[in-house]
Each structure stands twice: as structure tokens, then as C-alpha cells.
Amino acid sequence: MRRREFITLLAGAAAWPLEARAQQPIKLPTIGLLGASTPSSWSEWTAAFVQRMQELGWTERRTITIEYRWAEGHRERFAEIASEFARLKVNVIVTVGSAVAAAKQATSTIPIVFAIAVDPVGTGIVASLAQPGGNATGISVQSAELAGKRLEILREVLPTLRRLAIIADVNYPGAVLEVASAQIAAGNLGVDTNVLEIRRAEDIVPAFGKLGSGVQALYVCPDALVNANHARINTLALGARLPTMHPFRDFLGAGGLMSYGANNADMFRRAGDFVDKILKGAKPADLPVEQPTKFELVINLTTAKALGLTISESFLQRADQLIE
């Protein structure tokens, strides 16, 4: 081989690794979205999150990757999905309060943003709202604190309310806290309570079989299991002719009567701001947990009619939304 040809060959060989490296795609920041319920029940929320991320300059498949996983309301799936995200080394995990404990168990280093949490301090997710500490932060709905207000509203629609059923997933600490708050609020109003304990979807129908006599309404505590099965709960309540009070408008579906709480889509938008800050270098421990400032009263007039309820015009005028 001539000397000039040999030098040319060496130069070409040296360039190959550089060319190969140049052709490798750049790894985009990855968000692991742990959906505690179903894709359909979260569709509005995830759309709000993606839109907010885009407004902040993060476009899916161009500047970020979002890995979606769905637990379908099965709590045992939380740990499995969180462990997968830890193996994938995602940059941020986005979820809700009922799945945060599993996510924190899977990783102590990957930041976790909860878009909705019933009581993150009371359930041990964060040390305090102002200084969350650890690797998790987000938005707290303080749902248990709203229990009294929800029961006052329910009492206005049902002035003769004396016996109330409360349905809750007692495996979720946040729901247990809300049950306790609702029972105290009910006691202050002179209302007796009957707790329907559920732990899985199969418990819902038997729980309604334990309603007992004289129950006049149903208070629904929020969590992933209830979210995934709110249509079934509303259908059973309507069949039992029970008006329902829900924490979120999203849980009303076709058969729920009323809801009073924050707007979940707004909270998922706000979660986008947390993720943006974290991707730009902020630490979850330094980002205070936020709380919504606006709560919406929504009334389903179709359900009210089906139940034969007459709701005063003055009360209806206070509603933020009427479903007809």
C-alpha cells in the first residue's frame, strides 16, 4: 500500500466514530406521567398539562418526551409503574397524591410533582406546605378541610338531611382523613353517618348493599379508585335515589348531583409550571406546595330532576356551572 493511501485510510477511520456520534439522537428530557386512573378519566387533565408545557416552551416529541402509564385505579400498579420510571431514569414523575408514596419508595432522587393531593402534610408526602423537603412537591386541594363546606351545601339542598353515607377507599390515607373530617362536620350539623369502606372496584356493589335504612345522601371521598369507578358509584347512588356530593366536577359524570372543589384541569396546568422549574434546575424541596384559591360549585340539573329534587332559584344562581 502506498504511503499516501495509508494516511488517507487512517484519517477516514478516525472520522467514523465522530460521524456516528453526530448521528445519534439527543436524549430529550423525559417526564414519567403516572396516571392513577384511566386515560379517559384523565384526558382533560393531561391535555391541560401538555398545553401548559407547550406554552412554557416544552413540546412533546420535540423538546421533551412524556411516558404515559396507567394504573386503571389499581393501587398495586403504582409501585410497578414508579419502579419502571426509576429504571428509565426519567427526569420528573408527574402523578397525584394517592400514588406519591409508591413513587417516593421507588426513588428518593427523581423529582415528583403531584398535580392533586388531598392532604400532603397529613398523609406524610411532604414535611410542610412551605418547605416540602425531600423530592416531592405540587398542589394540595386540602379536600378534608372542605368537608364542612360540602356538607353545608348538601344540607341547603336537603334541609331534612339526618343520615348520610360516606364512601371512601380506606387504603388511601387522604380519604381516611377526609372521612374523619366529614364525620365531625356531619356531627356538628346533627347528621348521622354510615361509612361505606372500599379497597378495590369489586367492593363497590357490596358496599351499597350495606347502606342501611334511612340514608338520604352520599358523600364521595376522592382517590384514584373512586375516580376510575365514579360512573358506577353514580349509577348505584341514582338507583338507590341518593343525591351525591362529589369533590370535583369531573366525578359527576351523568348521574352525580353536585360537586364543590377546585378545578382539576387548572391544577394540572399549574403542575406544568412546577415541572418547568424543575427541568430548569429547581429542587422540589425548595418549591412550596401550592393551594387553589378558587372553588367551584357545580349542579347537575338532570340528576336533580331524576331524583325529584326542587332546588331554589337563589341557590342555583350561586352555582359556577349548571349541567342540563
Cα gap 322→324, rounded to integer Å: 6
Beta 65-70 vs 92-95: how paired, if at all? unpaired
Domains of the chain: 30-141+263-286 (3.40.50.2300), 144-261+296-323 (3.40.50.2300)
**Prediction pTM value:** 0.85
The full length of the chain comes to 324
Cα gap 246→264, rounded to integer Å: 13
Residue by residue, what is the 3-state secondary structure of 43-64?
A: HHHHHHHHHHHHHCCCCECCCE
Torsion of CA 271, 276, 278, 284, to 10 degrees: -20
Name residue 226's amino acid.
V
Spell out a b/e string for 1-25, using b for 16 or more CB atoms within 10 Å of the CB, else e: eeeeeeeeeeeeeeeeeeeeeeeee
Cα gap 165→196, rounded to integer Å: 7
What pLDDT does 213 receive? Answer: 86
User: Using only C-alpha atoms, what is the Rg of the chain?
Assistant: 24
Cα gap 243→18, rounded to integer Å: 68
What pLDDT does 170 receive? Answer: 95
Cα gap 291→141, rounded to integer Å: 6
Cα gap 185→214, rounded to integer Å: 19
Contact 247, 223 (CB under 8 A): no
Cα gap 5→7, rounded to integer Å: 6
Distance from the first to the final alpha carbon of the chain: 87
Block means of pLDDT (10 residues each) for the chain, length 324 residues? 48 46 66 95 96 97 96 93 97 96 96 94 93 96 86 96 97 92 96 96 95 93 91 95 94 91 95 98 97 94 95 95 93
